[in-house]
């Protein structure tokens, strides 16, 4: 390996050798021998000799899979002009494509070559595929490039644009980038028609509910139902989801009626996947209403249906199972499940289950008087909230206040619960969390030596019982 500057070494190579070195630095994945042959005027045996010399010089590495970039890749790419970069990327893309390489390899290279018309289809295929596998960290850059390709080519394929934005909304949601997810879902609804428009409204509802805007979510679901009148299976899944939002804004009877409609439609017209989604919605409602073991049974059954290849979904079901198990009186099993879900989510860049894992610890430890652990979970939750997920500041501060009160730090708890109330959405959207905060605020006052001077706590108790929030 030479100690001379990389740029000087590259300048002395012939054209084919230089292209191989620069292609290896650009590719982002090993370049197999069959692909590398197409990058120059050489036979396989000649290329192997060239590869050995370049490896000895420290300009490329080799593996059984092909030629691999060295630690100097960034420096090599930086020394390439824009035209050279585009030309090299295009040549590598063509060589990969000729061997039937994966769209996830070809698409980014075509984008680097600014060949947007050619890049759109493989980028879209790779990005949508990554979302379907739950690999959100991989999906986002592919989808961003696909959307740019659609813009650069002024694509009039509105359905494709809608699918790309919806897929990126799903990826952003699981990564905790809720504001960007909301914007993508709104953009998808602008392009979508028919069944895609229904799906866009549904995702806008899910995202609104994620941000504690359940009344807004219910409105989007009502709009989605109007677009799905001729699709009974889709209508069934929408009724199922709407039962969640209705329950969260204090309409339990309407929520149960929506569940009944969902069950009837999905029994006749739904797929196994549709019915599983309905079970998921029922599990959420059971958890919200304090029917912890019922929720745990449903989340456990849902988790059993999934495989490790569906890591993001599986982590979500498991972390909800953990929350339910804590509430059902099974802390050891809950903590084991929580840790497993968080580890699985971190492997695939799924932010949501990681956030919920912190929340599960804050909630669950407090149920058993482990206030130090509860405070640790709430602190971790608040750190995430302040950096990434502002809509849930009220929940993090509520759990901090509860833990501080359990530790006897009543003055700090009072300040924290006031902050939680201030961060709670106004109106009916904030009904559920505002009532939780009010109940805890009274508890803190009593624990600090105060007393209840009116019937407000009793009134709130009646309101919560009427809404079936046990």
For residue 470, is pLDDT > 70? no
Instruction: Classify burial at 7, counting beta carbons within 10 Å of its beta carbon; exposed 0-12, middle 13-18, buried 19 or more.
Output: exposed
pLDDT band with cut points at 50, 70 and 90 for residue 289: confident
In whole angstroms, how far apart are CA 258 and each of 229, 234, 263, 437?
Answer: 15, 14, 9, 28
Asked if residue 318 lies in contact with residue 353, where contact means CB atoms within 8 angstroms, the answer is yes
Supply angle C-alpha 82, 84, 89, rounded to 5. 95
191 pLDDT higher than 70: yes
Please, which pLDDT band fits residue 7 given cuts at 50, 70 and 90?
A: confident
Residue 2, judged by CB atoms within 10 A of its CB (0-12, 13-18, 19+), counts as: exposed
Task: Report domain extents, the chain.
Answer: 6-101
pLDDT, tens only, 122-176: 999 999 999 988 788 899 999 999 999 999 999 999 999 999 999 999 999 877 7
Q: What is the pLDDT of residues 342-387, one digit of tens each?
A: 999 988 878 889 999 999 999 999 999 999 999 999 999 999 999 8
pLDDT at 465 exceeding the cut of 70:
no
Asked if pLDDT for residue 466 goes beyond 70, the answer is: no
CATH topology of domain 6-101: Arc Repressor Mutant, subunit A (1.10.10)
pLDDT tens-digit series, residues 299-345: 999 999 988 778 888 999 999 999 999 999 999 999 999 999 999 99
Query: Which residues, 6+ apart, have CB-to-CB distance to 195 below 8 Å?
Result: 228, 231, 234
pLDDT band with cut points at 50, 70 and 90 for residue 450: confident
396-427 confidence digits (pLDDT tens):
999 999 999 999 999 999 999 999 999 999 98
Q: For residue 1, is pLDDT > 60?
A: no
- Look over the chain and give the mean of its residue pLDDT values, rounded to a whole number: 91
Question: Which residues lie closer than 8 Å to 160 by C-beta, 6 or more apart?
Answer: 124, 150
pLDDT tens figures, 110-133 = 999 999 999 999 999 999 999 988
Q: Does residue 256 surpass a pLDDT of 80? A: yes
Q: Which residue, among 274, 269, 272, 242, has the nearest Cα to 258 in the 3D structure?
A: 242
């Amino acid at each position: 390996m030479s100690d001379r500057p990389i740029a000087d070494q590259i300048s002395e190579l012939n054209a084919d050798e230089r292209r191989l070195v620069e292609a290896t630095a650009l590719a982002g994945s090993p370049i197999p021998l069959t692909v590398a042959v197409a990058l120059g005027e050489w036979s396989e045996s000649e290329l192997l000799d060239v590869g050995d010399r370049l490896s000895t010089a420290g300009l490329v590495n080799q593996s059984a899979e092909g030629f691999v970039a060295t630690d100097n890749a960034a420096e090599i790419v930086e020394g390439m002009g824009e035209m050279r970069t585009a030309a090299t990327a295009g040549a590598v893309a063509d060589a990969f494509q000729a061997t039937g390489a994966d769209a996830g390899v070809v698409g980014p290279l075509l984008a680097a070559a600014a060949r947007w018309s050619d890049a759109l289809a493989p980028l879209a295929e790779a990005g949508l595929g990554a979302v379907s596998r739950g690999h959100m960290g991989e999906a986002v850059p592919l989808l961003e490039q696909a959307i740019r390709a659609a813009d650069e080519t002024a694509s009039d394929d509105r359905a494709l644009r809608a699918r790309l934005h919806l897929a990126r909304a799903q990826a952003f949601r699981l990564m905790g980038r809720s504001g960007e997810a909301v914007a993508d879902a709104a953009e998808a609804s602008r392009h979508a028609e028919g069944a895609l428009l229904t799906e866009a409204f549904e995702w806008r509802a899910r995202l609104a509910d994620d941000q504690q805007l359940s009344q807004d979510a219910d409105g989007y679901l009502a709009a989605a139902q109007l677009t799905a009148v001729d699709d009974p299976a889709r209508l069934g899944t929408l009724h199922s989801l709407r039962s969640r939002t209705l329950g969260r804004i204090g309409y339990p009877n309407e929520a149960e009626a929506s569940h009944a409609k969902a069950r009837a439609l999905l029994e006749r017209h739904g797929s196994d996947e549709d019915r599983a989604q309905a079970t998921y919605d029922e599990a959420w409602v059971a958890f919200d209403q304090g029917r912890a073991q019922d929720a745990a049974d449903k989340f456990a059954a849902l988790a059993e249906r999934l495989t490790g290849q569906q890591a993001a979904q599986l982590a979500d079901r498991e972390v909800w199972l953990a929350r339910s198990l804590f509430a059902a009186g099974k802390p050891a099993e809950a903590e084991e499940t929580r840790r497993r879900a968080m580890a699985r989510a971190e492997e695939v860049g799924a932010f949501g289950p990681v956030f919920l894992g912190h929340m599960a610890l804050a909630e669950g430890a407090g149920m058993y008087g482990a206030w130090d652990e509860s405070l640790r979970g709430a602190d971790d939750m608040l750190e995430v909230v302040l950096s990434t997920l502002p809509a849930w500041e009220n929940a993090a501060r509520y759990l901090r206040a509860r833990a501080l009160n359990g530790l006897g730090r009543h003055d700090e708890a009072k300040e924290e619960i006031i902050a939680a109330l201030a961060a709670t959405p106004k109106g009916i959207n904030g009904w559920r969390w505002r009532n939780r905060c009010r109940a805890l605020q009274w508890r803190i006052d009593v624990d600090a030596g105060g007393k209840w001077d009116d019937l407000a706590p009793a009134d709130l108790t009646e309101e919560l019982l009427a809404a079936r929030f046990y």
